[in-house]
Amino acid sequence: MITFGPVPSRRLGQSLGINNIPGDKICTYACIYCQVGATRHYTLERASYYSPEQILAAVEEHLSKLQAVPDYLTFVPNGEPTLDIHLKESIRLLMQSGIPIAVITNASLLGDAAVRDALSLADWVSVKVDANDETVWKKINRPHPKLTFEGYKEGLLTFASSYKGILATETLMVDGVNDGAELLQHNASLIATINPSRAYLSIPTRPPAMRSVKKPDEEAINRAYQIYTDAGLHCEMLLGFEGSDTGFTGDAREDILNMSAVHPIREETMGEILRKNRADSSLPDQLVREKEIREVIYQDKKFWIRNFTRAEGIGLA
């Protein structure tokens, strides 16, 4: 199946997925946390899979069955979308629909001018930045042996400096691998150079390729969030909840759950949520007892964050 969804996505609203890489996973990486399973075809060679006309026909047919137009058409295949040599032409044909186009890429092929050229047509591009450190990059992303860390970084910076659409980064954190403070500071400085509209922090939410892969705990996620925001990044968390930072709705419980899924709530903000919603001051403790949120301390300050063990099995789109 070339198309799927639409899938509700906090990043993209209603997103109609396009799987432009057929069959078993074909990728330039074999990430230890990959939720698609083991990389069966490990390659750097861009190749012809579906023709752009096939992709257009599949999208048009899928759209004709939907009651509402999705917010995005998103290339998010079982593998790396830029391995598709027809990506540019497919995007070009789909642009006729008038629906914005998104691509979620691991960024490993951005050193190739043809890949950058294809992605330049997309309205929204997310690039993976798990580790600004060669050893950790190799450990977590397990890149194809012919990829170099310098090449990856150079491609990333070259693309970011010329891309005119909405650029996002995603850092997926794995316990004990890339969740240390020093590494996250390195990541934050690289991402700050890229200057994305949003820097997302995520965690594994489905069974990963390697059983040893564990989610970092709430303290580590909170620390990462603080490091990224201290670096001037507009950081949001993707913990497997479809939270939205909607402000004050009159329902304090919903506001706390939604906000804490997107970013940790500081003590002052929590006070404001309770006051504006005229809610009881015991509500945060009650949500902690219900295991909906967790209290964490960072640099002597109290924060509340969604208890993401509750998000088991919910996918990230």
CB of 29 to ligand SF4, least distance (A): 4
Nearer to ligand SF4 by Cβ, of 104 and 227: the residue is 104
Nearer to ligand SF4 by Cβ, of 30 and 231: the residue is 30
Q: Please list, in sequence order, all residues whose beta carbon lies within 8 angstroms of the beta carbon of residue 132, skipping any fewer than 6 positions away.
A: 153, 183, 186, 187, 189, 190
User: Helix 218-230 to helix 181-194 angle, to the nearest 10 degrees?
Assistant: 40
Nearer to ligand SF4 by Cβ, of 80 and 255: the residue is 80
Phi-psi region at 278: left, alpha or beta (left = phi > 0; alpha = psi -120 to 50) = left
Nearer to ligand SF4 by Cβ, of 106 and 222: the residue is 106
- The three-class DSSP label of residue 27 is strand
- The three-class DSSP label of residue 17 is strand
The CA-based angle 155-160-162, given to 5 degrees, is: 100
Nearer to ligand SF4 by Cβ, of 137 and 303: the residue is 137
Nearer to ligand SF4 by Cβ, of 141 and 222: the residue is 141
First-last CA distance in the chain = 17
Nearer to ligand SF4 by Cβ, of 70 and 208: the residue is 208
Which residues are near ligand SF4 by CB under 6 A? 25, 27, 29-31, 34, 36, 39, 79-80, 106
The CA-based angle 78-83-89, given to 5 degrees, is: 105
| Structural contact between residues 83 and 21, judged by C-beta atoms closer than 8 angstroms | yes
What whole-number distance in Å separates Cα of residue 168 and Cα of residue 3? 23
Smallest CA-to-CA distance from 69 within 99, 34, 106, 103 is with 99
What whole-number distance in Å separates Cα of residue 224 and Cα of residue 226? 5
| Structural contact between residues 237 and 206, judged by C-beta atoms closer than 8 angstroms | no
